[in-house]
Amino acid sequence: MRRLTSTASSWCSPVSVISGTELRNAVLADRSVGGRALCRALSDATDEWLIGLFEAATAGIKGRFALVATGGYGRGELAPYSDLDVLLLHDSPKTVAQVAERLWYPIWDASKGADKIKLGHAVRTVKEAKELASDDLDTATSLLTARHLAGDAALTSDLLGIIASDWRSRRAHWLAVLAAGVASRHEEAGEAAFLLEPNLKESSGGLRDVHALHWAEAAGALIAPADRAALAQAEDTLLAVRVALHRTTGRAGDVLLLQEQETVAPEAGFRDSDVLMAAVSVAARRVVWIGDETWSRVNGLPPVASDHVLASGVFLRGGEVELEAAADPSQDATLMLRVARTAAESGARISRATLERLESSAAVLPAPWPTGAIDDLVGLLLSGHRAIPVFEALDHYDLLVRILPEWAPVRCKPQRNAYHRFTVDRHLWETAANAAALVHRVTRPDLLVLGALLHDIGKGYPGDHTDVGVDLVRVIGPRLGLIDDDVDVIVTMVRQHLLLPDVATRRDLSDDGTINAVAEAVGNDVTLDLLSALTEADSLATGPSAWGSWKRELVTLLVDRTHHVLGGGDFTQVNWRLFPTSEVLELMGEGTTAIRTTEDRVTVVAPDRPGLFSRVAGVLSLHGLDVLDAEAHSDDSVAGRQAMAANEFRLLPPKEGIKWDRVVDDLQRALDGQLAIESRLAERAKTYRRRKMLSATVSSPSVRIHNDASSNATVIEVRAPDKIGILHRITKSLGELGLDIRHAKVQTMGNEVVDTFYVRTADRLKVLDPFHLKEIERAILHAVS
């Protein structure tokens, strides 16, 4: 579209602009209307506005013109900040430019300021629109649900008739393109039912999936009436949430971020964010279930020569797991688990008819379970990620709670922190699937996958999830038919499932007290290996930031050293400490300042003085370097040389190149007392805007001090919201209280840091004085507040 002429600009009536804005604002101001009703009302108001603009734009101009609503606007699903997609149809090339200028200009004029409307516009003849739609999926689908707004209705009718006919006649082509597009989008946007921050439109189970199913149905794909009704109900929920998201944020957007869920919930008609996210999850699961069935039919089922028996009463037919006609779920309580196991092992879907039979008549498993039932559950879990769609199918028909009644409270339950990416139920399935790939590392694969499935089962209940989980497992285990010793192992797995990652990332692994405490907690090598595998499986299921090379290295180190102690080895007979190295000791012996840097490590050797550690930490923060781990060592003064100290910081490798010469220069200035660290950190905090990934309630800072966690140091654990320079401020407060930092572990979990410090007094003793301990807590809380 060429730029508007001054004539077109001067022609525009401000009345049409004002009335259009007023119409939209009047609809949006009525907070009693939301969801689909608001979309419809907003579409109607926009219709009224655009029809008036069109009539004014075409007045006195010869030719045939029609205004058509396309895309979401055509469906009548115009959200508060949706794009406004319209098509100007014509058969008058000589005069259409004048009409277009008169039509678009008032819309653009109304798009200024807070009421901005993003116009998606096109000007085409029927022939041009048909040709473009024949090759472009987006154009074709936007016209499938287009609506005539104004002008020559015959033009619109001709186009829409051609589009619908072409869509049906090229059914195979369009369905294949649709199916491929759905699969590709799912890979990129994840699953709305299980993500903590779903994309309401693009994620699997989102609104775009609903639209794709409508388009597929228009091409001839069959969707049962009951499924169509369920789809409409799910779409209503997703639309209501999307509308509320637009309203509360005041902008277009489809990703439901954690920090926005609390305000979106009441706007969308839900009690709180947990109820909101559960509703989104249920709706998305319903969409995915209907979609999976539809696309499997579209893609075609693999041909088979004959039925293939999978287990007693269960066979494979046409790529789906079926129950034999004579099989009676009401009399065979193990049949449901047998169906689930064979489906996972064969990688096949359970047929809808089979699921409906199980739903209507499957018997409840007695306690304890019959012989073979637990083997089927373990077999299902050992199938790895192929078990997840089977669990989803069972859950869709409310069958999973018949296997594990304790499952109900974790179903669709969000985890309100940025550290986790999945709902609790999906997290447990993912952990079990990951664990199935690690069974070669343990002597009891069955206990590994069972423990993985149950390790967070307590999160659906009030109270500490670990304590609750232990109590639940003591009930579940015997019901499954496990012997007491095996129940005790799974209880330990649930109770200690955070032990290894917490200790590895927050404690000094060269301290004998640390390793001895872990050995006492796990009890034996078998349980230690189970916990090691569970730690990896759990971390991988948690999210990308929960398992990396640094954490893997620390956990492996901890497990190896614990095995040494459990095997009867004497910890004190082995030199586990890796710092200071011989090179660092040599630098200390020279008695001068030395700074060494690599991509993931900074080592500073300098004359010992109060606050040395905090100065280095402050400079690293100024340069955007994140500390993972730190070691400190100091010696006594000797003849001709003052006491020296060495600090080594292990860093998260920076995403962008770091100019290390500037880092070194600032470190030297800081050591010389020539760098205003506090002032610079304050300036950086003002200009740096880290994305807030917050839970519904921000955790308050806390300080825990342990004098029994180490044999030769006081251990201080600090939890606080992540902020610029927080490590510098904490360590500065410790230095001001005369404490020597011997070792530090730094961990960031979403928006929170968990920092651990091993400190000693100037006399190299633990801090035992109660008053001194209280002042340490006071100083740290002040530093992080």
Q: What is the DSSP string of 93-134?
A: TTTHHHHHHHHHHHHHHHTSGGG---EEEEEE-HHHHHHHHH
- DSSP, res 691: P
- Per-residue pLDDT band at 311 (split at 50, 70, 90): confident
> What pLDDT score does 276 carry?
96
pLDDT (0 to 100) of residue 670: 94
Show Cβ contacts of residue 604 under 8 Å, excluding neighbours closer than 6 positions: 593, 594, 595, 596, 612, 616, 646, 647, 648, 667, 671
The CATH number of domain 173-299, selected from 3.30.565.10, 3.30.390.30, 1.20.120.330, 3.40.1080.10: 1.20.120.330
d(CA 70, CA 189) in angstroms, rounded, equals: 24
Sign of CA dihedral 12, 18, 19, 20: positive
Lowest mean pLDDT among 184-188, 349-353, 561-565, 569-573: 569-573
Q: What is the pLDDT of residue 753?
A: 87
Q: Does pTM surpass 0.85?
A: no
Tell me the range of 4-18, 19-33, 767-781 where mean pLDDT is highest.
Answer: 767-781
Which DSSP symbol is given to 2?
Answer: P
The CA-based angle 493-498-504, given to 5 degrees, is: 120
Name the pLDDT band for 627 (thresholds 50, 70, 90): confident
Q: Tell me if domain 6-169 and domain 173-299 are identical in fold.
A: no
CA–CA separation, 569 vs 564, rounded Å? 5
Share of the chain above pLDDT 70, in %: 92
Per-residue pLDDT tens over the stretch 144-182: 999 999 999 999 999 999 999 999 999 999 999 999 999
DSSP string, 667-685: HHHHHTT---HHHHHHHHH
Q: Count how many Cα atoms sit within 13 Å of the Cα of residue 566 in the half-sphere of its side chain.
A: 19
Q: Which phi-psi region, left, alpha or beta, contains residue 201 (left: φ > 0; alpha: ψ -120 to 50)?
A: alpha
3-class secondary-structure state, position 568 = coil
For 190, phi then psi, to 5°, come to 75, -165
Highest mean pLDDT among 320-324, 547-551, 574-578, 742-746: 320-324
Torsion of CA 373, 379, 381, 384, to 10 degrees: -160
Q: What is the DSSP letter of 418?
A: T
The model's pLDDT over 126-138, given as tens digits with 9 standing for 90+, comes to 999 999 999 999 9
- Is residue 207 over pLDDT 50? yes
Q: Give the pLDDT of residue 3.
A: 35
Average pLDDT score over residue span 418-442: 93
What kind of architecture, by CATH, is found in domain 6-169? 2-Layer Sandwich (3.30)
Nearest to 488 by CA among 464, 525, 523: 523
Residue 785's pLDDT is: 84
pLDDT in tens, 454-492: 999 999 999 999 999 999 999 999 999 999 999 999 999
Answer yes or no: is pLDDT of 6 > 70.
no
Q: What is the mean pLDDT of the chain?
A: 89
Is residue 462 reached through a cis peptide bond, with omega within 30 degrees of 0 on the bond before it?
Answer: no
d(CA 663, CA 616): 10
Q: Dump pLDDT digits (tens) for 62-111.
A: 999 999 999 999 999 999 999 999 999 999 999 999 999 999 888 887 76
In DSSP terms, which residues pair with 321 in a beta bridge?
316, 350
Q: Cis check for the bond before 368: say yes or no (omega within 30 of 0).
A: yes
DSSP string, 331-396: T-TTHHHHHHHHHHHHT-EEPHHHHHHHHHHPPPPPSSPPTTHHHHHHHHHHTGGGHHHHHHHHHH
**Among 171-180, 418-427, 523-532, 672-681, the least confident range:** 418-427
pLDDT tens digits for range 493-530: 999 999 999 999 888 888 888 999 999 999 999 999 99
Helices (H), 437-464: 445-454
What is the rounded CA–CA span in Å between residue 120 and residue 87? 8
Domain edges within the chain: 6-169, 173-299, 582-784
- Residue 605: what pLDDT? 96
DSSP H helix total and E strand total for the chain: 32, 16
pLDDT at 747: 82
- The predicted structure's pLDDT at residue 570: 76
| pLDDT reading at 705 higher than 90 | yes
Tens digits of residue pLDDT in 726-768: 999 999 999 999 998 888 888 877 678 889 999 999 888 999 9
The position carrying tokens 């927080």 is 726
pLDDT classification of 594: cutoffs 50, 70, 90: very high
pLDDT of residue 629: 82
Highest-confidence range of 293-297, 397-401, 693-697, by mean pLDDT?
A: 397-401
**pLDDT value of residue 572:** 66
Backbone angles phi, psi at 70, to 5 degrees: -125, 175
Q: Which residue has the tokens 């829409």?
A: 160
What b-and-e string marks burial along 261-284, b requiring 16 or more CB atoms within 10 Å of the CB?
Answer: bbebbebbebeebbebbbbbbbbb
Separation between Cα atoms, residue 284 and residue 242, nearest integer Å: 13
Q: What is the pLDDT of residue 576?
A: 64
Phi/psi zone of residue 71: left (φ > 0), alpha (ψ -120 to 50 degrees), beta?
left
SS3 at position 551: helix
500 - beta bridge partners?
A: none
Q: Are 620 and 649 in contact (CB under 8 A)?
A: yes
**pLDDT surpassing 90 at residue 25:** no
